[in-house]
Structures are given as C-alpha cells and as structure tokens.
Structure 1
Amino acid sequence: MASASNPTPALETRGLTIRFGGHVAVNAVSCAFQPGTLTAIVGPNGAGKTTYFNLISGQLKATAGSVLVDGRDITRLPASARTHRGLGRAFQLTNLFPQLTALENVRLAIQSRAGAGWSMFNIWDTRRDLIEEAEAMLETVHLADKRHLSPKTLSHGDQRKLEVALLMALDPKIYMFDEPTAGMSVDEVPTVLELIHQIKARGDRTILLVEHKMDVVRSLADRIIVLHNGALVADGEPASVIASPIVQEAYLGLEAAHD
C-alpha cells in the first residue's frame, strides 16, 4: 500500500521481460516512476531501451512481467486503451494521417482528448476553441507557418517537432520520448528541449526519455537508469550514475567519461 512518503508510482514495471526466440531483449526489468519526475533511459545500441518503451506503451506483448499505471495493471490492454489510461508516446507519423495537414493532425489529437473521437468531420464548425488550441500548439513548436503542409513533406526536424505537438495535444499523465532530438539540426534542438522542460516544470507529469546525448540528459534528468543486454544495471541520480566506472567504461563510452 502506498504511503505519503512512498506514493503510488505513476508508472511501474515489474519483472518486465520479452523474448524473441532464444534472445532475451528485455530481461526482468522492475522500475517505478513517480509523478513529477523525468527519468532518462540510457545504454548502448541494442541495450533494449526502445523495446522497453514498446512493452510499456503496448506495441509489443510481454513474455512475462507486468506494467502498471497508477497502481492498476494494464499489461493486457492494447496500445489504444493504454493511451486512454494516460500513457502518451510520440506518434510515428506514418501511422497518422499523411494526407492531412499538420494542423488537421493536431486538431484530431485535441478532439480525441476532448472525448469527441477521431472523426475529421465532427464538431469543428462549433468548436472554434479547439481549432484555436491546435493553432496555438503549432505556434509553440514553431510550425505555425507550416500548418497547411502534409507531415510527409516536412523536414525530419519539423516532423519531430510535430510529434511533440501531437503528444502535448493529448496531454497524457505520462510522456514517453524516444530520442526526440535525433536527426535534428543544432538550431532545432533547443525548441524541443524547452518544450520538454516546460512539461517537467508543471510538476504533475511523469516523463521517460530515451536519449544518447549526455548533455541533454544532464540538463533535464532527475534520474538515470541504464539498460545493457536488456537488463537494468544502474539506477540513480545523474551525477552518480554518469560518474560510475561501469557506466563510463561499458555503457556510455568516452562521451560520458570526457564530456
């Protein structure tokens, strides 16, 4: 039972495991994430970070173990039902509506959050407030001038910013970012990092961030967990984890050792 000093985690995995044939991609990972915290998940390529994300968000079915949101077991729920429980992960744009504009995609996410479903033909004439919210969201991610473009015609950096806008439009309790700055130009990165910082500053959302850039991790994370060969090998506050010899030498490489 949770207490005032040990509240129910916003998100928890217990012994979470997945096997692909004889390969154990995620190996009995148990970890709890409290409301209002940002946890960076780091490790070498192939460590199981994205697979762990896929198990949490429901894109993959666990071989063993469980996923809990606010203490409730969601392990058997599909990805769509997990979204309704407050679990949000940046969209893969190819799975959205590439024939629609950036604005229309954000409008649909806001409409879904408002409980009006995903129909493109519902409520828009009578809900100007939701349209204005979508416009403001694109302004926030510096895409207002590209509101009428299709996602598939945007640059990679702008696509990543649109992913963040869509996730913020859904306003989940738990945000999951998988390398949100990957492939972005140096000029584009600060926009996304500032948005994540703003979400964190609210103090009532839980954020999981898979990230390779240690400067990003240092600037945002309250905590770092390290995966290697699918197992959890380190967990703690950033300075101590980054300074750990096992992490520097085996998992984060020279960037962490000499940054």
Structure 2
Amino acid sequence: MSQPSLVTENLTIRFGGHVAVNAVSCAFNPGELTVIVGPNGAGKTTYFNLISGQLTASEGRVLKGGEDITRLAPSARSHRGIGRAFQLTNLFPALTVLENIRLAVQARSGHGWRFFSPASRLGALKQEADQFLQATKLSDKAHMAAAELPHGDQRKLEVALLMAMEPDIYMFDEPTAGMSLDHTPDVLNLIATLKEDKTKTILLVEHKMSVVRALADRIIVLHNGELLADGPPDEVMQSQIVRDVYLGSSGEDAA
C-alpha cells in the first residue's frame, strides 16, 4: 500500500481550558475522498484549520508525505501541495475571473504576482488559465469582476483557483453552503471530476447527507473535538451511535 499523503497524529488544540480538537489521529490516502461530519461545534473546521495551518496545534503533528509540517505557515503548506477552499469565498473581488485564475497559475509556476511580464509569458499564462475557465464553465464570465459573480459562480471560481494551483491535497469546507439548487450540481460535479485523479487526496467538511452519499469514499465523524467513527460510508452511517447522537435518527442534513 502506498504511503498516506496526509497524516494527523494526536492532533490537539486548546483555547484556554477548552479542548476544541482532542488527539485526533487519521491517515488520508491518494485517490480517496473523505467527508468529515459531525454536529455544530464538533471541531470539523478547527481540524481543517490545523491541517491547513490557520491554527497551530497545542499538541500532536501534521505530516504531509512523511514530512512534519506542523509548524509551517499556511503559505508554506500551500507550496507543499495543500489547497484549501473556505466556507466564505477567498477571491480578489476587484479583479476579473480570468485575472484571478491567471494569478493562481502565475503563483504556482513560481513567477510571483507580477502583472508586468513579457507578452509571451502572459499569453502562456492566459492559455493555461483558459483551461480552468473551461473546466469550471466560467469562460463566458472571464471578463467579469469576481465581486459581480453570483454566489454559486464565486464558489466555482474558488474551485478553479484551487485547480490552477494543482495541489496534491484538496480541502473543501462546506463547498455548497449558501448555494442555490441550480448551482450546487456544478460544484459537486467539479469535485467528482477531481476525484477521478487517483493521485489526489480530497477532504470535505459537509453536513448535507445527499452530498456525503454522492461523493464519499470514507466518512470520519467528530464530536466534541474527538474522533467518534471512521470508515466506509455505509458502515459509519448505519452505526447506531452515529445516527442517534450525531446525525439524527433520520441521518438527514444534520450539521
């Protein structure tokens, strides 16, 4: 079996006397989409923040490809292949859709954030950016400012930015939150397409069971910051303690 792409070992964070994430150990593998579920306050987003570097662990470690990245800043983790999308879109609102994606391609290629580059280089960057526009069905909105996009298209643009960075590990925090029923399938289809690349690892925080059923290879359940369950979707969702206490007796749309 191949080496896990990402491992958390006894990952813990305390805020004063409150333990928000308590000794969570998990290994995540290439080609696997893991959905993290649990009630509000369970520690899902805090756990994500520990992995991506927005928070620093009180105890434990985060390993990426065997390398200890526990003390690295979010930017350094990004350069090592961890891509994170947030519940709130994280875009350059005044720039066009194309410019947002071009800057992501430019950053990933190591040329920094310079606008004043040779025309040939800009042409190559635009050509590459166009591929991500097409993949996310945003080509017809390429010259709109990101701030002018409907919420659903902003979420698609955020996925496009992640794709342009070409991470090994994709992290999505409730990617369909606040989206209309019309736009939700577009984002889910994008994630499903990413899942086809078996070199990638995908982590997804989600509370909609319809999304979980559609995408998950594996579910982990957090409660009070602790790992309650970890396994195949059918096995976890049929667990009585998970259904009764954390997902609700119906198992539908609990946070």
Q: If the TM-score is normalised by the length of the shorter chain, which range does it land in?
A: over 0.9
Q: Distance in 2 between matches of 1:109 and 1:179?
A: 22
Q: Is 2:190 the partner of 1:204?
A: no
Equivalent in the alignment of 1:130: 125
Over residues 178-216 of structure 1, what are the superposed CA-to-partner deviations in whole Å (9 max), with x where a residue is unaligned? 111111111111111111111111111000011111121
In the alignment, the residues of structure 1 paired with residue 124 and residue 230 of structure 2 have an alpha-carbon distance, to the nearest angstrom, of 43
Q: How far did 1:98 drift?
A: 2.1
- C-alpha distance in structure 2 between counterparts of 1:94 and 1:254, whole Å: 32
From 158, 161, 166, the equivalent of 1:166 is 161
Query: CA separation in 2, counterparts of 1:256 and 1:216?
Result: 13
Query: How far apart in 1 are the matches of 2:181 and 2:169?
Result: 27
The answer to whether the 8 Å contact 2:209/2:252 transfers is no
> Partners in 1 of 2:12 and 2:98 — Cα distance?
38
Q: Kindly tell me: are residues 8 and 16 of structure 1, through their superposed partners in 2, closer, same or farther at Cα, counting changes over 3 Å? A: same
Structure 1 Cα separation of the partners of residues 253 and 135 of structure 2: 35
1:148-187 aligned within 5 A:
148-187=143-182
Residue 108 of structure 1: aligned partner: 103
- 57, 72, 75: which is aligned to 2:70? 75
| Corresponding residue to 1:26 among 16, 21, 27 | 21
Checking the alignment, whether the CA contact within 8 Å between 1:93 and 1:163 is kept in structure 2 is no
- Retained in 1: the 8 A contact 2:62–2:68? yes
Task: Kindly indicate whether the alpha-carbon contact (under 8 Å) linking 1:91 and 1:167 is maintained by their aligned counterparts in 2.
Answer: no
Give the drift of 1:144.
1.8
> What residue is the counterpart of 1:227 in the other structure?
222
Counterpart secondary structure, 2:159 = helix
Q: Unaligned 5+ residue runs, structure 1? A: none
Q: Amino acid of the residue matched to residue 10 of structure 2?
A: G
Number of the residue aligned with 2:246: 251
The whole-number CA distance in structure 2 between the counterparts of 1:214 and 1:94 is 22
Decide whether the 8 Å contact of 1:101 with 1:148 is kept in 2.
yes
Contact residue 28 and residue 65 of structure 1 kept, 8 A = yes
- AA paired with 1:206? T
1:76-131 per-position Cα deviation (integer Å, ceiling 9, x unaligned): 11000001111111167775422211110100001111121122223454342320
- 3-state SS of 2:195 partner: helix
Alpha-carbon separation, structure 2, partners of 1:11 and 1:92: 22
Shift of 1:153: 2.1
For the residues of structure 1 that align with 2:212 and 2:203, how far apart are their CA atoms? 11
Secondary structure of 1:204's counterpart equals coil
Per-residue Cα deviation, 1:38-58 (whole angstroms, up to 9, x for no partner): 100000111110110001000
Cα pair 1:157 1:188 within 8 Å, conserved: yes
AA aligned opposite 2:30: P
Change (3 A) 1:55 1:258: closer
Coordinate RMSD, CA, aligned: 1.9
Please identify, of 118-127 and 157-166, the stretch whose mean Cα deviation from structure 2 is larger: 118-127
Shift of 1:240: 0.6
CA distance in 2, matches of 1:239, 1:151: 39
Equivalenced residues, count = 254
DSSP-derived class of the 1:253 partner: coil
Instruction: Provide the C-alpha distance between the structure 2 equivalents of 1:200 and 1:132, rounded to a whole number of angstroms.
Output: 24
Q: How many Å apart are 1:159 and its aligned residue?
A: 1.2
Select which of 223, 231, 235 maps to 1:240: 235
